[in-house]
A and B are shown apart, each in its own frame.
Chain A
Amino acid sequence: MLDNVVQEAKVSMGIFESDADQVYGLLAEFSDPGALLHAAEAVREEGYRHFDTYSPFPIHGMDEAMGLGNASAVGVFTFFGGVTGFAVAYLLQWWTAAVDYPLNISGKPFFAVEPSVPILFELTVLFAAFGAVAAMLALNGLPRPYNPLFYSDRFEGVTDDRFFLHIAASDDQFDAEETAATLRQAGALHIELVQDDGVADP
């Protein structure tokens, strides 16, 4: 049960588990963003869930094609980051000036909101930015220096001009032969089996 939850969470980060034969999955290359979008659509209609597409730039419509929905979690983290920043700035300015070392200057209040506004604002923004970046890294499972896909030489082009779709071996429906047929059906230019065995492509 818990294993399943963890596995699904990792899938949402694009981290898949290899199967007993150290097979990570099938990596298919497509010609262009349009073909990749249709392939993702087709693969999802076939019932696959543990798959991901890889491209040099974000492709619009891909989230819908893959059935991922809105990335709202990043916004939640950012919001709480901002709230934390605001609270830190408020407590810092109030506690240092009114509690820990109050200085009576012309009988003015030890703490007032008005002169505290600039720092309240700055720290809110600062911590919200920390929240956004931390959420992005955490939800993506980054940094991730080891990735079985790096064993594929062809995959090096993914940050240049190549477009890939990877169906993970951990998917319930995965079957090397049948999945390859599905990918071929979807218009793949090249399909390879990626193995998590510590050996780079021949």
Chain B
Amino acid sequence: MANSEESKSIPADPSSPGGEGHGDGRDDLIRGNLSFHDITELVSRHTEKKAPLAWYVAFATALSGTVLLLALFAYVTWNGIGAWGNNQPVGWGWPIVNFVFWVGIGHAGTLISAILFLFRQHWRTSINRAAEAMTIFAVICALIWPTFHVGRVWVIYWTLPIPNQMEMWPQFKSPLLWDVFAVSSYFIVSLLFWYVGLVPDLATLRDRAKNIWRKRILGFFSLGWTGANRHWRNYEKAYLLLAGLATPLVLSVHSVVSFDFAVSVLPGWHTTIFPPYFVAGAIFSGFAMVVTLMVITREIYGLKNVITIDHLEKMNIIILVTGTIVGFAYITEFFMAWYSGVEYEQYAFINRAFGPYAWAYWIMMTCNLVTPQLFWSKTLRRSVPVMFGLSIIVNIGMWFERFVITVTSLHRDFLPSSWGYFEPTWVDIGTLVGSFGLFFTLFLLFLRFVPMVAMSEVKGVLPQADPHFYEMGDGHADGNGHAGGDGEPYIQPATVTAVERPDTDRSGDA
């Protein structure tokens, strides 16, 4: 078994782009003719053996970032948020930019886990676990910003409807409070969804565990899961319902985040295009982050047969589509400003593109609209170095998008005497870098201790998981297996095996 992924080469370019999610394209989902046991082994062993050196190097780097973040947040809490560059007229500086940036990253995970599940896109099974983990960690990285940006972090509980000695309640008419509810509901639902998906895989690790304490801890978290069909039945139903609930939720979260801007009366913010445009941008940046993470993960952990080049290509197509939607929204904003006939609105946009922040605007335009167009080329979107570079460029562009939106509208206040130019401080830069440290610390811990691929789901989309596979005998099952099939159970006359025999042939199910 130890030889598996090293010895199996990846075919150069065998796939047809239109075949995903349907019965005919299913055989290509997982490469290398892997058996059920191969999948278990490929994924589980990384949580059981010593981590590769690259993991320790990355973890040490990420942990230093986390320490930097904690130290700087302590500094900000002690000295006040003036330690950041926030000041009149730009009261919402990098903290809000970073908040929107990180919430957006999270959206791809839910899109992969929920929306692609509802659309029966089987290729999601190889990446959904890691993408959902990314969602949870990105939302954690997002929540820290408003938490500290309130200044007096010790009274952050005022944002929640908790009875208190002042007998006051939160202002439910404020978009900022909607944000509290939207993002925290999103976090909790994502966590539930992720954990429910994890239970069968934690049971796999439990059953493989040699150490008694490891077995007990995993036994606790796997809830006594046995893979009983009476359980799978309710489990699949609950999973489907969670996917159905998470889908409108994820669309609502970034819409509500955009309300923080759109409900105000500031030129450049007060636009109805914001909710769909923010959601498209969120998916765009999130997919770019998934590509960045998956390219590294599959390389280091030898998962190229499970997370194939086809998976990456499909994500790149989504990046191309959403990037183009975002670019279209940028242009639509200009049209709306011109068409509205409101000179302040027109000024806000001209100022964005040609004013003091033109450099940021054109970075945004280049990274989000122009460079992703390279993915029209099949060669480029199947090239790992190209997609890795582009995915990072996309996230740079999306960070600048939020910067442009937040800062350009604020730096021209209503009175020209209050106009200013925002400049970040070293604390701004340090906390942003630190938030990446926190994100990667959490993600690396996930890679180390949790099955990084949803084993039970990947097994479920293998051709041999379909009961009909065995009746055809030629390895080309007719039904679409995990997607539902025809629901008609196949009845075979019981064959007689007279004696109990030990099953020495464990590769029989391959």
Which residues of A are at the interface with B, using a C-beta cutoff of 8 A?
12-14, 29, 31-42, 52-66, 68, 71-75, 78, 92-93, 96-97, 100-101, 115-116, 118-119, 121-123, 125-126, 128-130, 132-133, 135-137, 139-140, 142-147, 149, 155-161, 184-191
Tell me the complex Cα distance, A68–B455, Å: 25
Residues of the B chain whose Cβ atoms lie less than 8 Å from the Cβ of A187: 494-495, 497
A-B contacts, 12 listed (Cβ < 8 Å): A33-B467, A59-B467, A60-B481, A122-B252, A125-B245, A132-B242, A158-B227, A159-B226, A160-B36, A160-B40, A189-B503, A190-B500
- The verdict on B155 contacting chain A, using a C-beta distance below 8 Å, is no
Q: How far is the CB of B496 from chain A (nearest CB, A)?
A: 6
Query: Does A56 lie within 8 Å of B241, measured CB to CB?
Result: no
Query: Does A35 lie within 8 Å of B40, measured CB to CB?
Result: no
Query: Does B229 lie within 8 Å of A71, measured CB to CB?
Result: no
Q: How far is the CB of A102 from chain B (nearest CB, A)?
A: 10
Tell me whether A126 and B185 are in contact in the complex, defined as CB-CB below 8 angstroms, given that A31-B509, A64-B487, A159-B200 are known contacts: yes
Query: Does B252 lie within 8 Å of A161, measured CB to CB?
Result: no
- The verdict on B232 contacting chain A, using a C-beta distance below 8 Å, is yes
- The verdict on B3 contacting chain A, using a C-beta distance below 8 Å, is no
Tell me the complex Cα distance, A132–B249, Å: 15
Other than A161-B37, A190-B502, give 11 A-B pairs with Cβ distance below 8 A.
A34-B469, A38-B494, A54-B226, A56-B456, A60-B481, A96-B170, A122-B181, A129-B192, A159-B456, A184-B498, A189-B497
- The verdict on B165 contacting chain A, using a C-beta distance below 8 Å, is no
Query: Does B224 lie within 8 Å of A142, measured CB to CB?
Result: yes
Tell me whether A160 and B484 are in contact in the complex, defined as CB-CB below 8 angstroms, given that A140-B231, A186-B494 are known contacts: no
Q: How far is the CB of A137 from chain B (nearest CB, A)?
A: 7
Residues of the B chain whose Cβ atoms lie less than 8 Å from the Cβ of A14: 226, 228, 230-231
Could you say which of B172, B224, B245, B457 contacts A57, with CB atoms under 8 Å apart? B457
Residues of the A chain whose Cβ atoms lie less than 8 Å from the Cβ of B501: 189-190
Query: Does B224 lie within 8 Å of A68, measured CB to CB?
Result: no
Tell me whether A60 and B467 are in contact in the complex, defined as CB-CB below 8 angstroms, given that A74-B234, A118-B182 are known contacts: yes
Query: Does B207 lie within 8 Å of A34, measured CB to CB?
Result: no
Residues of the A chain whose Cβ atoms lie less than 8 Å from the Cβ of B226: 14, 54, 147, 149, 155, 158-159
Query: Does B178 lie within 8 Å of A119, measured CB to CB?
Result: yes
Tell me whether A34 and B223 are in contact in the complex, defined as CB-CB below 8 angstroms, given that A133-B196, A160-B207, A161-B35 are known contacts: no
Could you say which of A38, A63, A157 contacts B491, with CB atoms under 8 Å apart? A38
Q: Which 8 A-B pairs have the closest CB atoms?
A: A34-B470, A136-B238, A161-B36, A144-B224, A96-B169, A143-B223, A57-B460, A58-B232
Tell me the complex Cα distance, A41–B467, Å: 13
- The verdict on B317 contacting chain A, using a C-beta distance below 8 Å, is no
Query: Does A52 lie within 8 Å of B468, measured CB to CB?
Result: no
Which residues of B are at the interface with A, using a C-beta cutoff of 8 A?
35-37, 40, 161, 167-170, 172-173, 175, 177-178, 181-182, 185, 188-189, 192-193, 196, 200, 203-204, 206-208, 219-220, 223-238, 241-242, 245-246, 248-249, 252, 256, 259, 455-457, 459-460, 464-471, 479, 481-482, 484-485, 487-492, 494-498, 500-503, 506, 508-509
Residues of the B chain whose Cβ atoms lie less than 8 Å from the Cβ of A121: 248, 252
Minimum CB distance partner of B189 in chain A: A129
Q: How far is the CB of B476 from chain A (nearest CB, A)?
A: 14
Residues of the A chain whose Cβ atoms lie less than 8 Å from the Cβ of B460: 57-58
Q: Pick the most buried of B37, B196, B229, B465: most chain A CB atoms within 10 A of its CB.
A: B229
Tell me the complex Cα distance, A189–B484, Å: 28
Tell me the complex Cα distance, A122–B108, Å: 19
Query: Does B496 lie within 8 Å of A66, measured CB to CB?
Result: no
Tell me whether A41 and B207 are in contact in the complex, defined as CB-CB below 8 angstroms, given that A32-B509, A71-B236, A100-B169 are known contacts: no
Query: Does B229 lie within 8 Å of A63, measured CB to CB?
Result: yes
Residues of the A chain whose Cβ atoms lie less than 8 Å from the Cβ of B238: 74, 78, 132-133, 135-136
Minimum CB distance partner of A112 in chain B: B173
Query: Does A157 lie within 8 Å of B207, measured CB to CB?
Result: yes
Tell me the complex Cα distance, A128–B189, Å: 10
Residues of the A chain whose Cβ atoms lie less than 8 Å from the Cβ of B470: 32-35
Tell me the complex Cα distance, A62–B230, Å: 10
Could you say which of B189, B256, B464, B471 contacts A118, with CB atoms under 8 Å apart? B256
Query: Does B169 lie within 8 Å of A144, measured CB to CB?
Result: no
Q: How far is the CB of A128 from chain B (nearest CB, A)?
A: 5
Residues of the B chain whose Cβ atoms lie less than 8 Å from the Cβ of A184: 496-498, 500
Query: Does B178 lie within 8 Å of A128, measured CB to CB?
Result: no
Query: Does A132 lie within 8 Å of B241, measured CB to CB?
Result: yes
Could you say which of B220, B237, B248, B467 contacts A61, with CB atoms under 8 Å apart? B467
Q: How far is the CB of B41 from chain A (nearest CB, A)?
A: 9
Tell me the complex Cα distance, A135–B494, Å: 36
